[in-house]
Amino acid sequence: MTATETRVVGKRLPKLDAPDKVSGRIQYADDLDIPGMLTGAILRSPHAHARIVSIDVSKAEALPGVKAVIHAGNVQQRPFGYGHDNLPLKDRKVRCVGDEVAAVAAIDEATAKRALGLIDVVYEVLPAVVDPLEALEDGAPLIHDERLDIDGNVSMRWDFETGDVDKAAEEAAVIVEGTYSSPLAAPGAIETHVVIASFDRSGHLTVWSPVHMVFMYRKELADTLGLDWGNITIKQPPVGGSFGGKIDIDTHDFICVLLAEAAQRPVKLAMSREEEFIGTRTRQPIHFKLRTGADADGNILFRDTHVISDNGAYNAWGSHAMLVAMNTVTSLYRVPNSRMRCAVVYTNKSYGGSVRGFGNPQSTFAVEQQLEEIADALGRDPMELRIQNANQAGDVTPQGLKITTCGLTQCLESVKEASGWNERRGKMKDRYRGLGAAAFIHVGGGARIYGSDGCGAMIKMDDSGQISLISGSSELGQGSETALAMIVAEEVGVPMSKVRVIHSDTDVKPWDVGVHASRTTFVAGNAARLAAGRARDKLLAAAAEVLGKDDLVIEDGVISSRSEPERAMPYDKAIRRLLLREEGNVIMSTAFYDPPTENQDKGYIGNISATYGFGAHVAEVEVDPGTGQVKLLNLWTAHDVGRAINPSAVEGQIEGGAVMGIGLALTEELPVRVEVGELMAPNLHDYGLPTMVDAPRIHVDLIETNDPLGPFGAKGIGEGGLIPVPAAVANAVADAVGIRPRQFPLRPWKVLDWIQTGETSNVVKGAGRG
C-alpha cells in the first residue's frame, strides 16, 4: 500500500509548544495565582495500617492564618475507586503510609505546615501486610474488612482461558517455567501534582488540574463530593509530564475542593517531591508465574500464567492493568492455547495507578524472556523463533484481537539486521557483552474500556483565516497538539501556521474519553480529520459561489479550479466573502469519532482496538562481573507506527519511552521497609530515574504499514517505546553472563547475586542447551 500524497503530514516539524517550554515561559498549574488563594496541606498517616481512634483539630483551627481544617468528621464525602474502597479523607482506618487523614488551608505554606503539626491524631496501630503472598495466607489481617463482597484480601480476579492448555502441555516438546517480578515504581514526572479549586459566588466550581481524562475527572469529583457535575468547569493548564500519573482524579483533588468549600476561598494544593512518591499513584509490583511450551519445530503451543498483582491499599487504575497484561499473554505471537489466573491483592502500601505501558512491560518481561529460554532449550535462534511465530495481518487472536496491519516481522528483521544479531549474539561472552531482543503488541487504535471510546472535534475558521481546532483531547508533552494541527492543515489544505489547537477546559471542549492507551493520534486525529474535512467542504462551497466553478481544490491556502487553474483565490478571502454580507455565515464544523471496536465480554474476548501497534527492540549490554553493574551500550528499535504524522515527534516518543524503559529495566525502584510498609527513600536520587548518561545511542526505525483506519495511516505509539526494554535488557544480560534475570530493575547487587548463585533458565520438559 502506498501512502497518500501529503504536504504537511510526514514532515519533520518542531513541536508547537517547545519554544515556550524550553525557555520557561509556559505557565504550569503551580505558576497560577488566583486572588485570595490559600495554600493547602495534607496530614498523612505515618502508619501502614491503623485504626483512627480520634482526631483533634482544635489547636490547628486556633492558629492565626488558618482558614479551614478538614477531616472525615466534618466533610461530606462518598467512597470512590473500583469497588468504592477509598475515601478522600480516611474515616475509620488508614491502610498505607501516606493515607490522607486531615487537611488544612492557610494563608501561606509555613502556616499550613505548622497547623498540620498541631493536629492530634490518635492511632491504634494494626498489623500491616506488605507482602502479597502473606496477604493471601489464611488468617492474614484483612485490609478492607468492611468489604463483604470480596474473598480475604483479593479484591479482583482476572481469569482467561482459551484452547486446552493441559493437552498442549502434554504435547509440548519443551516447557520452561519461572516467576518474573517487577518492582514498585513511579511515573516520575518533573512536575508534581498541583491542583487549584475555586467556587464563585453562585456556587460554580472551577478546578485547575493538569489531568488528562478530564471528563471522567469531573464526573468522579461530582459523584464523590455530592456536587452537580453540570456546575463544574475543569481547566487544564499545560501538563509538566504525566506518564500516566496525572491520568485521572486522585485523593488530593477531592481534598483541594473540600478545602476550597470549607474556606470559601480558592485553594492551591501542590505536592512536594516526597509527597509525590508517597501520596500519588505508582506502578504496582506484579508477579507472573509463567509456563511456555513449544513443539519440537519451535511453534509456541501454550502459555499458562498465575499472576499476583500487588495492588496496594486501594483499587485505583492499577487494578485494571491486568487487561493489558492479558493481551500480551494471549496475543503476542501466535499462541493457540493460553490460560491466565490473576489475583489483584490488597497490601498495606502505596497503590497502583496507570503508568505508561500499563501492565505490558511487566507481562512482556515474562513472555519475551521465556521466548528466548524456549529457543535456547531447542537450540534455535530466538530471533528466528520470533519470526516463525510472529502475528500476521489477518490474524484474529484467541482473545478476539483482529490484527489488521502488522509490521511485526519487518520490525524483527530490522533490529536483527541493525544490531548484527547473527554475527554477534552469543559471541561476546569473553567481554561480558551480550545481545537480547524483545517484541511487543499494544493497542494502537484506541482501547474500548467504556461505553464510548470516542473523541469530539470542532473546527472554526475566522475572518483572519485562523483555523482553530477545539479538540476533546489533551497535550501532555507527547506532541499531540502538533500532530493534530498537522492533520488539520493537511486535510483543509493550508499551511501549519494557520492552525491553532485548543483543549483548554470542559466548558469549551467536546467530550473525549481522555488521553490514555496510546489513543490520541488515532482517535483524536481521526476526529480532527473528519471535522477538518467538513469545514473544508464548506470553504470550497463558499469559494465555488465566488469563482463560479465546482471543481475546486485547495493547496497551501489557495483555492483554485482543476480545469481552469487561473481561477483562484486565497482561502481566507473565501471565508470573508461568506461572512461579511447580509445573511452571511461563518465556517464551523464538528465531528465525533468512535473507533469501530467492541467491549470485551465477560470472558475477556473482544476486539478492543481498531488496530494494534507492534515493535521489536534489541539491547546490547556489558555486565561488570565484579560489581553486577549493567551498562546498556546500544538499543536498536523498530516500530510499526502505521504512518509517522511527524517523524521527529514519533522518534522522540519512542526514544523517550525507551529511556523510561531503561529506568525500569536497570534502576527505578521504590523499596519498601517490609516491617512498617513505608518507602525507604522517597526521593528522586534514590529512586534512580535514568539520566542522559544512562541512555545509550537509541536507534529508531519507523516501519510504515499505513493502517487503513488510522488518520493518514497512523497508529498510536505513545507507550510502545518502553514496553519491550526490560525484557530485551534481561535477555541481553542472559546472553552476556549466562544468568536468567527474573526481576527488574536489574540493580547491581541482584545481578551479582544471580551470577554468584548461578540463576539460570528452568527447563521443566525437553532437552536444555545448558
Partner 1 sequence: MVEVLIPGTLAEALGMLADREGAVPLAGGTDVLLDMRTGRSDPTVLVDMSRLDGLRGVGIDGDLVTIGAMTSIRTIERDAELAARSTAVPEAAHVLGSVQIRVMATLGGNLCHATPSAEMPPPLLVHGAEVDIAGPDGGRTVPLADLFAGPGATTLDPGELVAAVRYPAPSNLGSCYLRQTVRWSMDLAGVGVAASVAVDGDRITTATVALGAVAPTPFVVGGVADLMADDPWDPERAGEAGRMAAAASSPISDARGSADYRCSVVAALVPRALGIAYRRAIGGWPVGRFSPTNGLVEEPA
- Binding-site ranges for partner 1 (CB under 8 A): 432, 622, 624-629, 631, 666-667, 671, 680-681, 685-686, 688, 690-694, 747-749, 752-753, 756
Phi, then psi, of 589 in degrees rounded to 5? -150, 160
Q: Confirm if 8 and 490 have CB atoms less than 8 A apart.
A: yes
* Residue spans of alpha helices (H) in 420-524: 421-424, 480-492
Closest CB 695 distance from partner 1, rounded Å: 10
Closest CB 36 distance from partner 1, rounded Å: 26
Helix %, strand %, coil % for the chain, to 5? 30, 25, 45
Displacement of CA 659 from its chain's centroid (Å): 15
Closest CB 694 distance from partner 1, rounded Å: 5
Q: Confirm if 492 and 554 have CB atoms less than 8 A apart.
A: yes
Nearer to partner 1, 12 or 429 (CB): 429
Closest CB 747 distance from partner 1, rounded Å: 6
Nearer to partner 1, 539 or 751 (CB): 751
- Amino acid identity, residue 425? R
Closest CB 690 distance from partner 1, rounded Å: 6
As a whole number of Å, the end-to-end CA separation of the chain is 45
Nearer to partner 1, 649 or 666 (CB): 666
Nearer to partner 1, 241 or 557 (CB): 241
Displacement of CA 592 from its chain's centroid (Å): 23
Nearer to partner 1, 663 or 711 (CB): 663
Closest CB 192 distance from partner 1, rounded Å: 15
Q: Confirm if 666 and 633 have CB atoms less than 8 A apart.
A: no
Closest CB 628 distance from partner 1, rounded Å: 8
Q: Which of 65, 169, 62 is nearest to 119 (CA)?
A: 62
Displacement of CA 75 from its chain's centroid (Å): 33
Nearer to partner 1, 37 or 112 (CB): 112
Closest CB 751 distance from partner 1, rounded Å: 10
Closest CB 659 distance from partner 1, rounded Å: 12
Closest CB 745 distance from partner 1, rounded Å: 8
Residue 495 DSSP symbol: -
Q: Confirm if 163 and 172 have CB atoms less than 8 A apart.
A: no
Closest CB 430 distance from partner 1, rounded Å: 11
Closest CB 432 distance from partner 1, rounded Å: 8
Q: Confirm if 652 and 635 have CB atoms less than 8 A apart.
A: no
Q: Confirm if 401 and 608 have CB atoms less than 8 A apart.
A: yes
Query: What strand order describes the sheet that includes 286-294?
Result: 154-162, 337-346, 300-312, 286-294, 174-181, 763-765
| Cβ-proximal residues to 21 (8 Å cutoff; 6+ apart), any chain | 238
DSSP letters spanning 398-437: TT--B--S--HHHHHHHHHHHHTHHHHTTS-GGGTEEEEE
Neighbouring C-beta atoms of residue 394, cutoff 10 Å: 10
DSSP letters spanning 5-69: P-SSTT-----TTHHHHHTT-S--GGG---TTPEEEEEEE-SSSSEEEEEEE-HHHHHSTTEEEE
Nearer to partner 1, 450 or 749 (CB): 749
Give the Cα separation of 656 and 718 in Å (integer): 10
Q: Confirm if 370 and 294 have CB atoms less than 8 A apart.
A: no
Give the Cα separation of 140 and 345 in Å (integer): 12
Nearer to partner 1, 77 or 629 (CB): 629
Displacement of CA 196 from its chain's centroid (Å): 24
Residue 626, C-alpha cell as written in the block: 565484579
Closest CB 620 distance from partner 1, rounded Å: 15
Give the Cα separation of 748 and 625 in Å (integer): 10
Give the Cα separation of 605 and 716 in Å (integer): 22
Our CA angle for 388, 393, 399, nearest 5°, is 85
Give the Cα separation of 612 and 322 in Å (integer): 18
Nearer to partner 1, 580 or 693 (CB): 693
Nearer to partner 1, 92 or 697 (CB): 697
Nearer to partner 1, 44 or 498 (CB): 44
Nearer to partner 1, 688 or 721 (CB): 688
Nearer to partner 1, 498 or 750 (CB): 750
Nearer to partner 1, 113 or 573 (CB): 113
Closest CB 671 distance from partner 1, rounded Å: 5
Give the Cα separation of 514 and 214 in Å (integer): 6
Closest CB 693 distance from partner 1, rounded Å: 4
Q: Which of 666, 663, 715 is nearest to 690 (CA)?
A: 663
Q: Confirm if 405 and 610 have CB atoms less than 8 A apart.
A: no
Nearer to partner 1, 78 or 273 (CB): 273
Closest CB 691 distance from partner 1, rounded Å: 5
Closest CB 706 distance from partner 1, rounded Å: 39
Nearer to partner 1, 147 or 631 (CB): 631
Nearer to partner 1, 24 or 230 (CB): 24
